[in-house]
Structure formats: C-alpha cells, structure tokens
C-alpha cells in the first residue's frame, strides 16, 4: 500500500509502481480531499488530526480484507502509517517511511524538526492570503532546488488543485502535530528512508526516529529534496528492494 504526502496524490508514485508491480500486488489511494477523491466526504472534524487519515488507511484495509501489508508512506504518511498500524496491527507486516518526520517543529536543544512555529504560522497565513503564491513558494522548497522545472510545476499544480479548506486542514495536521511520543510504541519492522539534503525533514530527524523506534532500519540516501520517490526513483526502488530482500543497512533490534 502506497500513501502520498501532503498536497500530493497517488500519481506521484508512478515511477515507483513501475518497479514494484511485477513483484507485488499494489494498493494506491488518495486521501479524502486529495487527487480524485470525493470532496463531499471531507469533514474537518475528522481530518484536523492525523488519526483521521489513519482511520482511512484502516478502513481501506478492512474493505479490501488486507493483511501482511507493507505500508509505504511518503512524508507525513510515514506517521499516518505508524498510527494505523498501532490502531489495527493485524493488517500490517512492515512499514517503509520515505522522508518521514514525526514533528516538523524545532524543540531545542534535543530536536531539530526544521521549522520554528512562527515560520509555519506565516506559511499558513500566506495560504489564506495568496493560495497560488503559497503553492509557488512551497513547491520548489519541497521538491528540492535541483529538481526539474517539470517536477516542481507538477507539485505546484497538485497543491493548487487541492481545495483550500482541505489543504489548510491537512497542512495544520501535518506541520503542527508532534507524534514523537508514539515512536517507541512501534512493533512492526520499519525502514526509514531519509534524504541527505531535505529542507523539510533533515537527516537528523531520520537518526532521531531510528533511535526512538524499535525494529527500525535507517538508510540515508545521497539525494536532495523531500520527494525523492519522484526525483530519485531508482535509488528509492533499490533501497526498497534491498530492505525487502533483507540486505538494507543499519538494522536495530
């Protein structure tokens, strides 16, 4: 099961699915309010926290009667997948987190999430005042300045295609939440794929998660940007295959 990050949809996995479909049965979806999902199903009361999105994941597993799932989550979906597996562990075998972060806020001196609260509040304020400008500012930051104009434009278009209320609700649930306290509860094998140069989730976040999460494996890729499944799909695929084949580095009991 592959789960997209904030402001994205399942199409962002296209280069990864090509390398997985010959070996695995794949389940892709759009969170409510994203991609081609049914906007009328969106309820702010449900999606103001990440638990609402985790409920979506488990409801998909229930309807499709899924078990032994490898959950591949990009960015905030790494945390969503963790919450889903803690709530209903019977569906899941393992988790692969691509550029995850349990908390995007700095908490000195021991944790550098990447942002001061005031910075994120200004970003949300920009979303309200100039939605197109917000998308144009955020897309290159997320994708990475070395990414192609085509990929940056695709991400900006994805941001702009999301309903503003949905985007703000998902953004607040993503960037102002702190799930560091849930990491130690993890009971499933987990691969943390961290980008070496990532403006949203720096390398130290990956090391922090690895130290806090039982049964975790850390692999820091020599990549730039937060959407490495789009900018460096072959490296991500190689890391996924290596992990599933049992040869990924830095295991932790």
Q: Write out the DSSP string of the chain.
A: -EE--TT--GGGGHHHHHHHTTTS---B---TTSTTS-GGG--HHHHTSHHHHHHHHHHHHHHHT--SEEEEEETHHHHHHHHHHHH-GGGEEEEEEES--S--B-BTTTB--SB-HHHHHHHHHHHHH-HHHHHHHHHHHHH-TTS-HHHHHHHHHHHHHS-HHHHHHHHHHHHS---GGGGGG--S-EEEEEEEE-SSS-HHHHHHHHHHSTTEEEEEEEEESS-HHHHSHHHHHHHHHHHHTT--SSB--
pLDDT attached to residue 159: 87
pLDDT attached to residue 164: 86
pLDDT attached to residue 182: 98
Q: Which of 34, 75, 158, 216 is catalytic?
A: 75
pLDDT attached to residue 251: 53
Contact 75, 200 (CB under 8 A): yes
CATH topology of domain 2-244: Rossmann fold (3.40.50)
pLDDT attached to residue 55: 97
pLDDT attached to residue 184: 98
Q: Which of 9, 74, 198, 229 is catalytic?
A: 198
Residue with structure tokens 């720096």?
Answer: 202
DSSP symbol at 111: B
pLDDT attached to residue 253: 46
The most distant pair of C-alpha atoms in the chain lies apart, rounded to whole Å, by 49
pLDDT attached to residue 13: 97
Task: Give the pLDDT of the chain (253 residues) as one tens digit per residue.
Answer: 999 999 889 999 999 999 999 999 999 999 988 878 788 889 999 999 999 999 999 999 999 999 999 999 999 999 999 999 999 999 999 999 999 999 999 999 999 999 999 999 998 898 888 888 888 888 999 999 889 999 999 998 888 888 888 889 999 999 999 999 999 999 999 999 999 999 999 999 999 999 999 999 999 999 999 999 999 999 999 999 999 998 655 555 4
- This prediction has a pTM of 0.94
Q: How many Å apart are CA 218 and CA 13, to the nearest integer?
A: 21
pLDDT attached to residue 98: 98
Q: Which of 74, 210, 226, 229 is catalytic?
A: 226
Residue 75 bears catalytic tag: yes
pLDDT attached to residue 153: 92
């Amino acid at each position: 099961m592959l789960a997209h990050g904030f402001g994205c949809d399942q199409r962002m996995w296209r280069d990864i699915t090509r390398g997985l479909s010959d070996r695995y049965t794949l389940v892709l979806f759009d969170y409510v309010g994203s991609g081609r999902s049914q906007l009328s199903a969106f309820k702010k009361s449900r999606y103001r926290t990440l638990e609402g999105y985790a409920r979506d994941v488990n409801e998909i597993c229930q309807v499709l009667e899924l078990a032994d799932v490898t959950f591949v989550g990009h960015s905030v979906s790494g945390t969503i997948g963790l919450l889903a597996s803690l709530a209903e562990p019977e569906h899941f075998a393992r988790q692969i987190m691509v550029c995850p972060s349990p908390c995007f806020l700095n908490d000195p001196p021991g944790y550098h999430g990447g942002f001061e609260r005031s910075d994120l509040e200004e970003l949300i304020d920009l979303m309200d005042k100039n939605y197109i400008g917000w998308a144009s500012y955020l897309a290159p930051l997320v994708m990475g300045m070395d990414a192609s104009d085509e990929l940056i434009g695709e991400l900006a278009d994805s941001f702009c295609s999301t309903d503003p209320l949905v985007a703000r609700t998902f953004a607040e649930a993503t960037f102002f939440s702190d799930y560091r306290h849930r990491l130690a509860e993890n009971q499933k094998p987990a691969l943390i794929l961290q980008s070496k140069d990532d403006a949203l989730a720096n390398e130290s976040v990956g090391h922090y998660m690895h130290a806090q999460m039982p049964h975790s494996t850390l692999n820091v890729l020599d990549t730039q940007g937060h959407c490495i499944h789009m900018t460096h799909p072959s490296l991500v695929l190689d890391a996924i295959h290596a992990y599933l084949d049992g040869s990924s580095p830095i295991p932790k009991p």
